[in-house]
Amino acid sequence: MRLSASRDSDADNDRTTLASWHEWEVRDGERRIILCVATSLELRPGFPGFDASQLETLIRDATDMMRTSASPIDAIRIVPERG
């Protein structure tokens, strides 16, 4: 089962606004909280437009969001923006 609560968050005032939300995954009675971050970056290595340094920056920003969250987060999921 997956439930979602949408919101927009700033990783930091100096950074671009990241569209993010939390998803809860429940398996065998255990709940995991996932921080989901949507991006327009190309996420597939080897495809045109892929930039490893931009992806690393996004991962760092998402990790900062995870660490400063009021609720404990178990994992980060980076997904393509919907067009």
CA distances from 20 to 46, 47, 48 (A): 26, 24, 25
Distance of CA 32 to the CA centre of its chain: 14
Instruction: Count up the domains in the chain and report the number.
Output: 1
Judge whether residue 9 has pLDDT over 90.
no
Long-range contacts of 41-45 (CB under 8 A, 24+ apart): 43/78, 43/80
Quote the percentage of the chain above a pLDDT of 90: 70
pLDDT at 16: 56
Judge whether residue 81 has pLDDT over 90.
yes
CA distances from 71 to 5, 16, 40 (A): 13, 22, 26
Give one DSSP letter per residue of 36-62, joined into a string.
EEEE-S--STTSTT--HHHHHHHHHHH
pLDDT at 71: 85
Which range marks the domain in which residue 68 is found? Answer: 2-80
Judge whether residue 26 has pLDDT over 70.
yes
Which residues share a beta bridge with 58? none
Instruction: Express each pLDDT in 29-66 by its tens digit.
Output: 999 999 999 999 999 999 999 999 999 999 999 999 99
